[in-house]
A and B are shown apart, each in its own frame.
Chain A
Amino acid sequence: MARMTGAQMVLDGLQREGVDTIFGYPGGVVLPLYDTLPQFPGIRHILVRHEQSAAHMADGYARASGRMGTCLGTSGPGATNLVTGICTSWMDSTPVFALTGNVARSLLGRDGFQEADITGITHSITKHNYLVMRPEEIPLTVREAAHICRTGRPGPVLVDIPKDVFQETAEYDWPEQINLRGYKPTVDGHAGMIRRAAELIDQAERPIIIAGHGVIWSDAQAALVELAEKAGIPVITTFLGIGGFPESHPLSYGWLGMHGMFYANMAADKADLVIGVGMRFDDRAMGRFKDFNPGVKIVHIDIDPAEIGKNFPVAVPIVGSAENVLPRLAEQVKETKHPQWVRWIDQQREEHPSLYIRESRRMLPQYVVRTLYEETNGDANIVTGVGQHQMWAGQHYFYKRPRQLITSGGLGTMGFELPAAIGAQVACPETETWAICGDGGFQMTLQEMAVLVDEGLPVKIAIFNNGYLGMVRQWQHLFYDKNLVAVAMTQPDFVKLADAYGIRGLRVETKAEVASAIREARTYKGPMLIDFQIDQEENVWPMVPAGAALSETIEAPAEELAR
């Protein structure tokens, strides 16, 4: 025990919890913390350009590394700017530790300068949050918050500390043990339920596994492969589950959902048994709930009991982590194959090749993604924004390992791509990292290019520039009678913009230049931006229209394919 200031306790506590990087932005009330930062050389502080990006960077760092990401903002606007990033992490269940300062205790509740009730604001988008009113409470709070953040179903936590609590000194007592009587995640999985699931799998004629984000977060890829191979079950993933099962595997049939592969949607819709692992049967994945595969039996494995039975009735619920449940399930199922069923899905894939890229002289976005895949040997980390480019990046790059695709699936946050790619690159400095951006979303967080220069991070930025908010244009085109309103954008010269930030930029206007531009970016040591001026009218297919069932998946219309 030693006497320490609150600020020292926070940083020491974070360090003990394994934090090596903080993405932050200073301001009045967190100055005591910044003043203390040089005493902790083990913690790297990355100065962002907007707090929203700090939260996305922490999120990208967490998703790429599997460790907790940490972000920091000052009171008031600093804290509220974090909110979008915290909510992004909340919707996708990623471990982000958000630290905010607040006004001094004597001023709390008096609407002073830069006061915001950030714990109140973030109640519904954090797993838990704390307002720390005494320095003595800091060690236990940091310990508890980090524990809650990382364990069970991961999720963001927020710790709000008034300025004078940072400054006050107290005895520092790091708690070795914590006991949260209201928080005891079930990770093991009920043996009886696992047995019943194994029986259902043995009886099934057309089983399918739908693997979600939870498979990635519990490092259960190997166990999933083992189960799928032993019981001969085809595997599809959710959008966030991409990488949870190697897409090169013979039993892999891509991912399902609104823009999932036709055959993946059909397989989910025609299966007699769905084994959902670490996923939450979301509407974007399952289509219209009431018409999803009538008569299917569902085995649902998830660490969050509240997800089980939330959207669909479940035949066998298993509360537990994928890494614990899957090996035990794999042990108990009979070794078998389902040749007829697999052949049926194969046939669907032959007749409906969702990932076929047609010959065209235009620079099709699908072609750009596929070329990127080929040029990078499928090894790069891909970080996307939200919209058409996100779907193409999910479809036409083939992912082999967990954590390779980093994307905002749940909240759908435009502008996520660049900051999250920065976080991912910080977490994995040796891994080639590409931020695939929309021309709209990029402009929401483009100021973070400055961080690339500051920190010397070699992130490659690929802007899919079609001069439109593409996904919105697609919806207006398909569902609003081509009445295009507020979707065409006059874009700045992205190459000059990159230049202004001191980043190398390149514009690609023809299909012929795509591969060489990617090669150039790969051999260039520093960060680089490529403005791909892709075809403007291309739509994302296949598509399950909003409110339709998976069985109503629409494929690219003939007139579009003829373009």
Chain B
Amino acid sequence: MNTAVNGVVKDRAGHHTVVAIVEDKPGVLMRVSSLFRRRGFNIESLTVGHSEAEGLSRMTIVVDGTSAPIDQVEKQLYKLIDVVKVTDLSQEDMVARELAMIKVRCNNVNRHELLDIANVFRADVVDIATNSIILQVVGDEDKIDGLVKMCEPYGIRELSRTGRIAMVRGTKTTTVHDPEPERIRQFHASQGRRVEGELPFSSD
């Protein structure tokens, strides 16, 4: 959960958003989740998927920091051989998002009301049937909670949330791979321009 203040997302008190870059190997998810279980660290959400680098996955873990000092969480994660890098994004300005699909009961009479609500939340309708509708919404947890609350009176048949993914704002990254500067430079040269941040041609 978080609150957006001037566009900057902050963690809810005591919560931390930890990004772990891990080797894409069998069993790595179990190693991480088993570590949290054994050490008594509470997970609010855990999301995992491919990262920009081949062979590395990115896990976004929202930890209840009241269950453990966050530096212990980081250090214990680092002890896993398959964990390459750990960053506590709570120290940074970050963008955090979650996606949810909500299947809501509806009929000809109240469908329009629901569509109006969806509009306010900028949710998409991804499926529609005679007596139900699937809304897809992207946002921070508060926004999704808000939409869920608005849908509740109609009857939520099914709710699926991805859990949070997050990134630091600006040029800073939490990645570990080599960005292959030569390849990037060649690409930009082939387009007749310099890599972002370098001097323009005119100054050569």
Contact = CB atoms under 8 A, between A and B. Distances in A.
Interface of A: 119-120, 123-124, 127-128, 131, 148, 180-183, 304-306, 309-310
Given A181-B84, A182-B80, A182-B84, A306 B34 contact: no
B30 interface: yes
Contacts of B75: 305-306
B48 to A, nearest CB: 16
A304 B79 contact: yes
A180 B78 contact: no
Given A124-B38, A304-B79, A131 B26 contact: yes
A310 B38 CA distance: 15
A51 B34 CA distance: 26
B83 interface: yes
Nearest to A183: B81
A306 B78 contact: yes
Given A123-B27, A128-B82, A305-B78, 4 more contacts: A127-B81, A182-B82, A305-B75, A306-B79
A413 B56 CA distance: 39
Contacts of B91: none
B31 interface: yes
A180 B30 CA distance: 20
A120 B78 contact: no
Nearest to A127: B81
B176 interface: yes
B72 A306 contact: yes
Interface in B75-98: 75-76, 78-84
A326 to B, nearest CB: 23
Contacts of B78: 305-306
A181 B79 contact: no
Contacts of A119: 27
Nearest to A157: B81
A181 B176 contact: yes
Nearest to B23: A182
Nearest to A180: B81
Contacts of A310: 72
A383 B47 CA distance: 48
7 contacts: A124-B34, A124-B35, A124-B38, A128-B80, A180-B81, A181-B23, A182-B81
A183 B81 CA distance: 5
B81 A120 contact: no
Contacts of A183: 81
B30 to A, nearest CB: 7
B196 interface: no
Contacts of B79: 304, 306
B178 to A, nearest CB: 11
A305 B75 CA distance: 7
A81 to B, nearest CB: 22
Interface in B7-52: 22-23, 26-27, 30-31, 34-35, 38
B75 to A, nearest CB: 4
A432 to B, nearest CB: 38
Contacts of B72: 306, 309-310
B39 to A, nearest CB: 10
B192 to A, nearest CB: 36
* Among A119, A182, A306, residue most surrounded by chain B Cβ atoms (within 10 Å): A182
Interface of B: 22-23, 26-27, 30-31, 34-35, 38, 69, 71-72, 75-76, 78-84, 176
A311 to B, nearest CB: 10
A174 B72 CA distance: 37
A40 B69 CA distance: 50
Given A306-B79, A310-B72, A120 B38 contact: no
Question: Nearest 6 pairs between A and B by C-beta?
Answer: A306-B75, A128-B81, A182-B84, A183-B81, A181-B84, A305-B75
B31 A123 contact: yes
A102 to B, nearest CB: 14
A143 to B, nearest CB: 13
A180 B83 CA distance: 10
Contacts of A181: 23, 84, 176
Given A180-B81, A182-B23, A309 B30 contact: no
Nearest to A148: B81
B34 A123 contact: yes
A182 B31 CA distance: 14
A282 to B, nearest CB: 16
Contacts of B31: 123
Contacts of B35: 124
Contacts of A306: 72, 75-76, 78-79
Contacts of B69: 309
A66 to B, nearest CB: 22
B30 A123 contact: yes
Contacts of B38: 124
A451 B173 CA distance: 57
Nearest to B55: A181
Given A182-B23, A306-B75, A120 B30 contact: yes
B78 to A, nearest CB: 7
Nearest to A305: B75
A498 B78 CA distance: 49
Nearest to B38: A124
B55 to A, nearest CB: 9
A256 B151 CA distance: 62
A330 to B, nearest CB: 27
* Among B38, B79, B81, B83, residue most surrounded by chain A Cβ atoms (within 10 Å): B81
Contacts of B80: 128, 182
Contacts of A123: 27, 30-31, 34
Contacts of A148: 81
B87 to A, nearest CB: 14
Contacts of A124: 34-35, 38
* Among B26, B34, B76, B78, residue most surrounded by chain A Cβ atoms (within 10 Å): B78
Nearest to B83: A182
Nearest to A119: B27
B150 to A, nearest CB: 43
A183 B75 CA distance: 12
A131 B26 CA distance: 9
A123 B28 CA distance: 10
A183 B72 CA distance: 17
Nearest to B79: A306
A127 B81 CA distance: 8
* Among A304, A306, A309, residue most surrounded by chain B Cβ atoms (within 10 Å): A306
A327 B38 CA distance: 37
Contacts of B82: 128, 182
Contacts of B81: 127-128, 148, 180, 182-183
A124 B176 CA distance: 26
